[in-house]
Amino acid sequence: MPPMARPRGAQARADAVRALLAELYPDVMCALDHTNPYELLAATILSAQCTDERVNMVTPRLFARYPTPADLAAADPEAVETIVKSTGFFRAKTRSLLGMATALEVRFGGEVPTELDDLVTVPGVGRKTGNVVRSVAFDLPGLPVDTHVGRLARRLKLTSETDPVKVELELNGLVPPAERGRFSLRLIEHGRRVCDARKPRCGDCVLAAICPSAGDVVGVKAAVKQAAVKQAGGRARPV
């Protein structure tokens, strides 16, 4: 691919990021194992503060024992707690799982709703989980904002917001509806592999040429500047 001219403005940068990450991660997929929207919803609830790998170790047993929302709604909470214990916060997660299953049964005819406004009324489901379900299970527009998405969006200066809902709404204005889910998954992948929270590997990053934060995320440029100021006998600000 020929070198890319530095895009000006958030929209041009978002387009460039989208193209480069699509090339780097063409077959990106949700890492939570599932076979239907109900299973994805349950797995996503369990993934809070937990790795996808750990969730995938737990869900086969959970789904074998409670294959439908009706089964889970009627479950003994202690039996569910035992199954999901290793994912952490197991009491709260069990409450969410049973509340979610009951809500699906009572209010949505045993089905996972597709509208975000409905999804966020289900216990344990916020906008992030709702957008995961919409984009992955239903192939509908949805841009889940987790810690990786928020961090990369700010480093790439696609937003200056820190509130995930505001980040999502701002990114929605920059990414075509059909691309939002995959864009989120690709940012997550890149955040895990390259743009680490504490030690981003800008030298290995395909976005370095267009990223306004390249080389400056951990204060590299600032530290160099301080050293120069110190050498000149001036006062340096903390990095």
**Residues identified as active-site:** 128, 146
Shortest approach of ligand SF4 to residue 203 CB, angstroms?
Answer: 8
The nearer residue to ligand SF4, 58 or 214, going by C-beta atoms, is: 214
Burial 30-66 (b: 16+ CB within 10 A, else e): bbbebeebbbbbbbbbbbbebeeeebbebbeebbeeb
The nearer residue to ligand SF4, 120 or 220, going by C-beta atoms, is: 220
Shortest approach of ligand SF4 to residue 211 CB, angstroms?
Answer: 3
The nearer residue to ligand SF4, 36 or 147, going by C-beta atoms, is: 147
Shortest approach of ligand SF4 to residue 136 CB, angstroms?
Answer: 24
CB-side neighbour CA atoms (13 Å) of 232: 9
The nearer residue to ligand SF4, 199 or 235, going by C-beta atoms, is: 199
Contacts of 81 (CB under 8 A, 6+ apart): 90, 91, 94
Binding site for ligand SF4 (CB under 6 A): 152, 155-156, 194-195, 200-202, 205, 207-208, 211, 213-214, 217
Shortest approach of ligand SF4 to residue 198 CB, angstroms?
Answer: 12
Taking CA atoms, 61 is separated from 31, 56, 80, 91, 133, in Å, by 17, 10, 10, 17, 21
